[in-house]
Amino acid sequence: MVVFDKPNSLCDVPMHYCPGCTHGIVHRLVAEVIDELQIEGKTIGIAPVGCSVMAYDYFNCDMIEAAHGRAPAVATGVKRANPDNIVFTYQGDGDLASIGMAETVHSAARNENITIIFINNAIYGMTGGQMAPTSLPGQVTQTSPYGRDVNACGYPIKVCEMLSQLDGPEYLERVAVNNVKNVKNAKKAIKKAFENQVNKKGFSLVEVISSCPTNWGLTPSDALKWIDEKMIPYYPLGVYKDRSAK
Amino acid sequence: MAVLTFKTDKCKGCGLCVEVCPKNVLQIAQDKINLKGHHPVEAKNPEACIGCAFCATMCPDCIIKVER
């Protein structure tokens, strides 16, 4: 009996991510959910700019590459033109929380029937480890070598908390992928986000606390511990909005 | 008994599977190098495997197949 194997919706190609980067885990969870809901043939993914810019090579469904931060806008167009297709975006924190903040907030406010997978690793990965809007106070990055100074650079943006103040979104949850239990919970959240879209309920966003061993300057296993020690206390896990739960 | 299969040439040797294994089945093969130039994972005592698939759950590159 096969207990675990690669999902069909994930291509059998080597990924370009650094060793120990949890992008691969989240890719797999999305692919598993697409397989389980049997929506591979009608799913359209929107790839972002950032480390996951080449996500279109890794998913077996149709993919579109959006301009930096504009994935929710592209997804809005695709979903409105093809309401029977399942549309998801896969975005990092530099893409969604920085340059694409307007698109994110307005698609949430409009309650577009799309699914957003938001990877929060508190740093710009692809460009070499600069400070991101989600970098923690005091966090050392390439552009904050003495630690993030909140007086000069402001405070990190908590996307789930912020969007939960809007009346629009259907479902917002923050999960992490730093241990087996959290990975299982992350899969449940991603599945629910896709089911909401299949059931035409509206905007669903899952924020995944992820690691960046290379730019954090840690080993892969230390990076997962750093998530537990530093990231999760600042970004508490949980459901921030779920209208269907009422 | 559980059977582990590795796509060794996709392994990046990050060691997350080694860390998470409750039975200490896996190790990074320091004497081997795969196509990508990494030391890949291998099962040092496969008979101890209980097939929990924790390793495959944490593998970022989806290289582990678990059967039991």
State whether the Cα torsion A229-A33-A94-A174 is positive or negative: negative
CB-nearest to B67 from A1, A220, A224 is A1
Helices A23-36 and A180-198: crossing angle in degrees, nearest 10, is 50
Q: Please state which CATH number belongs to domain B3-67.
A: 3.30.70.20
Kindly report the number of other CB atoms within 10 A of residue A54's CB atom: 14
A187 and chain B in contact, CB less than 8 A? no
Q: Which of A3, A22, A188 to mutate to test the interface with B (most CBs of B within 10 A)?
A: A3
How does residue A246 score in pLDDT terms, banded at 50, 70 and 90?
A: low
B60 and chain A in contact, CB less than 8 A? yes
pLDDT < 50 stretches in chain B? none
* Over residues A138-165, mean pLDDT: 95
A147 and chain B in contact, CB less than 8 A? no
Q: Which of B7, B10, B16 to mutate to test the interface with A (most CBs of A within 10 A)?
A: B16
Residues of chain A neighbouring B4 (CB-CB closer than 8 A):
none
Q: Contact, A65 vs A47, CB < 8 A?
A: yes
The contacts of residue A5 (CB under 8 Å, 6+ apart) are: B65, B66
Q: What is the DSSP letter of A135?
A: P
Sequence spans of domains, chain A: 23-245
Local structure of A12: helix, strand or coil: coil
pLDDT in tens, A183-236: 999 999 999 999 999 999 999 999 999 999 999 999 999 999 999 999 999 999
| Residue A98, pLDDT score | 94
Of residues B56, B14, B15, B12, the one with CA closest to residue B34 = B12
Q: Contact, A178 vs A209, CB < 8 A?
A: yes
d(C-alpha A225, C-alpha A156), whole Å: 20
d(C-alpha A69, C-alpha A81), whole Å: 20
CB-nearest to B61 from A2, A24, A184 is A24
Q: Using the beta-carbon criterion (under 8 Å), do B60 and A221 form an inter-chain contact?
A: no
| Residue A244, pLDDT score | 83
Q: Using the beta-carbon criterion (under 8 Å), do B15 and A28 form an inter-chain contact?
A: no
For chain A, where are the E strands, in sequence order?
2-4, 43-47, 62-65, 86-92, 115-120, 171-176, 204-209, 238-242
* pLDDT surpassing 70 at residue A2: yes
**What b/e sequence results for A17-43 when a residue is b if at least 16 CB atoms lie within 10 Å of its CB, and e otherwise?**
bbbbbbbbbbbbbbbbbbeeeebbeeb
Q: Please state which CATH number belongs to domain A23-245.
A: 3.40.50.970
Q: Contact, A87 vs A178, CB < 8 A?
A: no
pLDDT in tens, B18-37: 999 999 999 999 999 999 89
H-type helices in A45-114, by residue range? 71-81, 93, 101-109
* pLDDT surpassing 80 at residue A68: yes
CB-nearest to B58 from A14, A18, A183 is A183
Of residues B10, B49, B34, B46, the one with CA closest to residue A28 = B10
CB-nearest to A3 from B12, B20, B66 is B66
B28 and chain A in contact, CB less than 8 A? no
ipTM: 0.95
Q: Contact, A93 vs A49, CB < 8 A?
A: no
Local structure of B16: helix, strand or coil: helix
| Residue A104, pLDDT score | 95
Report the percentage of chain A scoring pLDDT > 90.
98
Q: Using the beta-carbon criterion (under 8 Å), do A24 and B62 form an inter-chain contact?
A: yes
CA distances from residue A167 to A73, A139, A175 in whole angstroms, order as listed: 19, 33, 22
